[in-house]
Structure 1
Amino acid sequence: MRRWLAMAEQTLANHSDRLNAINIYPVADADTGTNLYLTVKAAAHAVAEMEPADVGATMSVAGRAAMEQARGNSGTLLAVFLVALAEPLAGAQRLSGPLLAAALHRAQLRAWSALSEPMPGTILSVLEAAAQGATSVQFSLGGDESNQALAQTIDGAVVAAREAVVRTESQLGVLSAAHVVDSGAVGVLLILDCLRSVIVGEPLQEDLLDGLSGYKVQDPNIAVFMPEQEGVEVMCTIQLTPLAAAGLRLQLDGLGDSVIMSAVSEQADATGAYPWRLHVHVPSATVALEAIQAVGDPSNVSISALTANATEDAHDFI
């Protein structure tokens, strides 16, 4: 798992510019590649030097680090995916096909439920397809736990994920009009192929991205030509009970969009509150922060402009 995350970090670093160039949904802010890279980097570095542990414990550390340092819509969903991936793997000394299928299934469910308004044609569709692909293989193998079955399981997941990436162009009107596939979907496909590479001991598939609309190096940078989006992205961590979290989600749904809320861990404090990672796009940071501060004390707050022309300095960490 450590080798997978390290490889994903390097791969996303190599592909971030092209992912940014086709990042036009949910907003054309040209940072999906950067956000996925920084989020995976946080996960990879968190586990790089940790003491040997079981698969679930390793992924749990990776997921928490990714969640706390997640960037953007795509990075937050990826962090949710990593956190949830760890849950069925708890105590496992090695990864197997049945465990991988179960983990992918749990992770895609958590990712879909984290969003207030989940949309097909995005990262969510790719995660769902990967889970279905892995489950289908495992069903045909009857729960075989051999290394060969594990290789077949991840193969099935990546094949299904790539088919889902191709479909994203036709699932969202903005992507169809621009003739591109979804940026976050491609990023997750690359991350899954990194896992395949580590499991089967082969390089990344050279033809994996061939034919994906908008992804050739010579294709234009679509994102910079899209109309600029007004407003800001607000992210933070906050300790809330499930009931308070549901109330805050409802309020944020009325104030903005792209609302993502997911528990960072399943460990509650003495009051029954859990740490939640929160993401929302709003017209101004003030309205979101007022709603958040009314129910708790946020930490690790970041505020970013929703524009492709914003610099890194637009991120204001409090």
Structure 2
Amino acid sequence: MLRWLVMAERTLANHSDRLNAINIYPVADADTGTNLYLTVRSAAQALAAAEPGDVGASMALAGRAAMEQARGNSGTLFSVFLSAMAEPLAGAQRLNGPLLAAALHRAQLRSWSALSEPMPGTILSVLEAAARGASDVESTLNGDDSNVALVRTLDGAVCAARQAVALTESQLDILTNAHVVDAGGVGLLLILDCLRSVVVGEPLQEDLLDGLSGYKVQDPNIALTMPEQSGVEVMCTVSLTPLAAAGLRMQLDELGDSVIMSAVSEEADDAGAYPWRVHVHVPSPATALDAIQAVGDPNNVSISQLSPNATEDAHDLL
């Protein structure tokens, strides 16, 4: 798990500029590559500093760290993906094909449910395809938990994810008109191929990104040619009961968009409240913070301008 996250961190660092250049959905703020890199780095650093544990415990620890330090839509969804994958892996001493298929299935369910308005043609479609690809292969292997079967299951997941990334260009009008694929989807594809790479002991596939629209080095920075974005992205962690969390989600849906809410852990405090990571795009910080503070005490607050030309962001304000 640690080798996977370290390789994913290094790979995203190398690809962040091109991912940023095609980041035009849900807003053209040119930061998907940066946000994924920073979020994966938080997960890798937390796991590197931890005592060795089983596969599920290691992934859960990394997922919590990613959730607390998540940046942007893509980083938040990656942290949900990582935390959800940990659930079927609890207690497992090694990864195998059946566990991988179960983990990807859980991750795609949790990721879709974390968004108020999930959309096809995004990182969600790529994750769904990866889960389906892994399940299709695993179902033919009759529960084989060998390393050979794991590699075949990973191949199925990565191949399906690659096809889903190419398809994103035709699924959202904004991507179709700009002739690019979804940046978050490409980022997830790279992360999944990093897992395949560390399992098989080979480099990333050289042709993994060949033919993806907008991904050649010489292609223009599409994000910077899009209309200027207004508003801010607000992220925080807040402890709420499930009922209060549902109420806050409804209110944030009315105040802004790109609402993502996911529980950081499944452990409630004495009052029955769980820590939730909250993400929303709103016209101004007060729009979201007033609503959040009315139901809880937010911490680890991050406020970022949605404009790709913004020079200052604020983090850890409260």
Q: TM-score, normalised by structure 2?
A: 0.99
Give the aligned partner of residue 195 of structure 2. 195
* 1:48 matched residue in structure 2: 48
Secondary structure of the 1:180 match is: coil
Q: Deviations over 1:145-165 (max 9, x none)?
A: 000000000000000000000
Deviation at 1:130?
0.4
The letter of the residue matching 1:141 is L
Deviation at 1:59, TM superposition (A): 0.3
Does 1:315 find its partner at 2:310? Answer: no
Give 1:219's aligned residue.
Answer: 219
Query: What is the one-letter code of the residue matched to 1:216?
Result: K
Task: Determine helix, strand or coil for the equivalent of 1:309.
Answer: coil
Letter aligned with residue 149 of structure 2:
A
Map of 2:150 onto structure 1 = 150
1:258 aligns to what?
A: 258
Instruction: Tell me how far apart the structure 2 counterparts of residues 220 and 13 of structure 1 sit (CA, whole Å).
Output: 19
Q: Give the whole-Å Cα distance in 1 for the aligned partners of 2:150 and 2:43.
A: 23
Q: 1:139: Cα distance to partner? A: 0.4
Partner of 2:243: 243
Q: Are 1:178 and 2:178 an aligned pair?
A: yes
Q: CA deviation at 1:49?
A: 2.7
Give 1:297-312 correspondences, 5 Å limit.
297-311=297-311
Q: Is the 8 A contact 2:299 2:316 kept in 1?
A: no
Q: Distance in 1 between matches of 2:223 and 2:80?
A: 25
Give the aligned CA root-mean-square deviation in angstroms.
Answer: 0.6
Provide Cα deviations, 1:187-229, integer angstroms capped at 9, x if missing partner: 0000000000011111100000000000000000000010011
Q: What is the distance in 2 between the residues matched to 1:290 and 1:220?
A: 40
1:10-62 Cα shifts (integer Å, max 9, x gaps) = 00000000000000000000000000000000000000132111000000110
Q: Output the amino acid matched with 2:143.
A: G
Tell me how many residue pairs correspond in the alignment. Answer: 317
Structure 2: state its 5+ residue gaps.
none
Q: Distance in 2 between matches of 1:17 and 1:304?
A: 19
> How far apart, in 2, do the equivalents of 1:38 and 1:142 lie?
39
Instruction: Kindly report structure 1 stretches of 4+ aligned residues shifted beyond 3 Å.
Output: none
Q: Determine what percentage of the aligned residue pairs are the same residue.
A: 79
Distance in 2 separating the partners of 1:50 and 1:269: 24
* Amino acid in the other structure paired with 1:45: Q
Amino acid at match of 1:138: E
2:209 aligns to what?
A: 209
Query: How far does residue 95 in structure 1 lie from its aligned partner after superposition?
Result: 0.3
Shift of 1:316: 3.7
> For residue 127 of structure 2, what is the aligned residue in structure 1?
127
3-state secondary structure, aligned to 1:89 = coil
Gaps of 5+ in 1: none
User: Secondary structure of the equivalent of 1:91?
Assistant: coil
Once residues 281 and 257 of structure 2 are traced to their aligned partners in structure 1, the CA distance between those partners, rounded to angstroms, is 5
Aligned with 1:141: secondary structure? coil
Q: For 2:206 and 2:86, locate their aligned partners in 1 and report how far apart those are by CA, in whole Å.
A: 29
